[in-house]
Structure 1
Amino acid sequence: MNIPEVIATLPGPFQQRQLAEVNDTVVRVAQLHGEFPWHHHDEDELFLCWDGTFRIELEGREPVVMTPGDVFVIPRGLRHRPVADEPAHTLLVEKPETKQFGN
């Protein structure tokens, strides 16, 4: 699978595609642009910035700015939202049942 080719098929902001399933997790790619709604998950979520720049706003904490190659794990239960002023792409590592808009 070629990640840039999959990215080219994403229809718009905050759309995802599953790339692979590994053990008990999945790897997804998503386009970010604009503000995603605040939400939380009952499990940890890993973001790897593939391209562009975005920030992850965290409830009660300073935002985390992500640039290509950066990795950040959001602990389960922490309200957060990704925000991208310009289009960016991220790889997500999470459980297959993780809901995009949280619990």
Structure 2
Amino acid sequence: MEKVNIAEKLSLFSEHWSPKIVGELNGQQVKLAKLKGEFVWHKHDHEDELFYVVEGTLTILFRDRTVTLHPHEFLIVPRGVEHKPVAEEEVSVMLFEPATTLNTGDAESELTKRTLEKL
């Protein structure tokens, strides 16, 4: 049982769109990621996804609206809802989702990460 310092963990990597596992509980993973630019349109058929902004501003596009998240705000994207994260400048996020969640959901791309590093 160890406490986790989010800023310290974020300082350990610089790549974008490559989530790192920083905790696990009840079949769920707590991940940190740095995002910059546009991700791919995708959905998760079986999992909800939580985006918590630690630093920066994250925009999440939906087919019918746009949601902008600022530091210390989060959004839960329900399973089956198509979305596309966009970060004009670098943003740091915490993700909370089932361990089986693939970062690009139903969209295979060069951004797909099948194996995640544990910090």
TM over 0.5: yes
Gaps of at least 5 residues in structure 2 are 107-119
Flag the structure with higher strand content.
Answer: 1
Tell me which residue corresponds to 1:34. 37
CA contact 1:10–1:16 (8 Å) conserved in 2: no
TM-score for both structures, normalised by structure 1 = 0.93
Structure 1 position 10, deviation (Å): 2.1
Q: Which runs of 4+ in 1 moved over 2 A?
A: none
Tell which structure's C-alpha radius of gyration is larger: 2
TM-score for both structures, normalised by structure 2 = 0.81
Question: What are the within-5 Å matches in structure 2 for residues 11-22 of structure 1?
Answer: 11-22=14-25
Tell me which residue corresponds to 1:77. 80
Distance, in Å, in 2 between the alignment partners of 1:31 and 1:47 is 12
Gaps of at least 5 residues in structure 1 are none
SS at match of 1:11: coil
Aligned length: 102
Structure 1 position 11, deviation (Å): 3.3
Identity of aligned residues (%): 36
Distance, in Å, in 2 between the alignment partners of 1:6 and 1:78 is 30
Distance, in Å, in 1 between the alignment partners of 2:73 and 2:83 is 17
